[in-house]
Amino acid sequence: MKRSEINRSIRKAILLCQTYSVALPPFAQVEPHAWLEKGREYEEIRACMLGWDITDYGLGRFNDLGLTLITLRNGKRGHTIYDKPYAEKILISQENQVCPMHFHWYKREDIINRNGGILMMQLYQANADEGLSDQPVEVQQDGRRYCVKAGTVLELSPGESITLPPRLYHAFWAKPGHGPVLIGEVSQCNDDQNDNRFLEPIGRFPVIEEDEPAYRLLCTEYPPVE
């Protein structure tokens, strides 16, 4: 993925947040060179991977398979210092840009359409071999429980949400013709290095081609404290 794509995605995300009056935390606005001056008092940001997270899943097709995220708060499961049991993210999905089918072994999460277009969400239970099951899926949506067929695609309008328990496969995207979706995620601790099971063998973080200077660092790029 080119650095210019990452920079462009971050700028678009900031504009979309401004459009819907979503204020971002200070660490989202830190320029790359300024991280060299951030001491140990900012270690939680580094350790819990707070901040920008732009991914094409290592496939080089960001406009088709990609997602823009910013982690606002997070803990580390079992850690004595960063012991928050919860996490919160903002996700932005552009039209026709799919977040591919995956589940989490540990994390339970609420995915919320905060504003913008219509969020499409496809669901499957995982079978014993971690493939797609043909069994019905129990949906937990805004306090309502009901069952749908495996592979059903739900439409979430602004204000609607869905709860995704562990081992529930899901893929999502913004419905074409309705604009990008500003998505909220409220969950248990997030661990993107160990708690993602993608249906197809793909990566979680991009391989970056440095075609221009970074506008903001990603959460995987903070320099360590010396």
62's CB contacts (< 8 A; 6+ apart) are: 1, 5, 9, 54, 56, 97
Domains and CATH numbers, the chain: 3-198 (2.60.120.10)
pLDDT of residue 77: 86
DSSP string, 136-149: -EEEEETTEEEEE-
Output the pLDDT for position 96.
86
CA separation for the pair 163, 142 (Å, rounded): 8
Q: Which DSSP string corresponds to 12-29?
A: HHHHHHHHTT-PPPGGGG
Q: Count of alpha carbons within 13 Å of 19, Cβ hemisphere only?
A: 14
Question: Which residue is associated with the tokens 């204020």?
Answer: 23
Predicted TM-score (pTM) above 0.85 = yes
Half-sphere exposure (CA, 13 Å, Cβ side) for 7?
Answer: 12
Q: What angle do CA 219, 111, 148 make, to 5 degrees?
A: 140
pLDDT tens figures, 68-82: 999 999 999 888 899
The answer, yes or no, to whether residue 226 has pLDDT greater than 80, is no
Summarised one tens digit per residue, pLDDT across range 163-220 is: 999 999 999 999 999 999 999 999 999 999 999 999 999 999 999 999 999 999 999 9
Segment 26-64, tens digit of pLDDT = 999 999 999 999 999 999 999 999 999 999 999 999 999
Nearest 5°: CA angle at 71, between 67 and 75?
A: 135
Give the span between the Cα atoms of 116 and 92, in whole angstroms. 10
**Per-residue tokens: 58:** 């290592």
Segments in the chain forming alpha helices (H): 3-19, 43-47
Number of residues in the chain: 226
Per cent of the chain over pLDDT 70 is 100
With b for 16 or more beta-carbon neighbours within 10 A and e for fewer, the 148-174 pattern comes to eeeeeebebeeebbbbbeeebbbbbbb
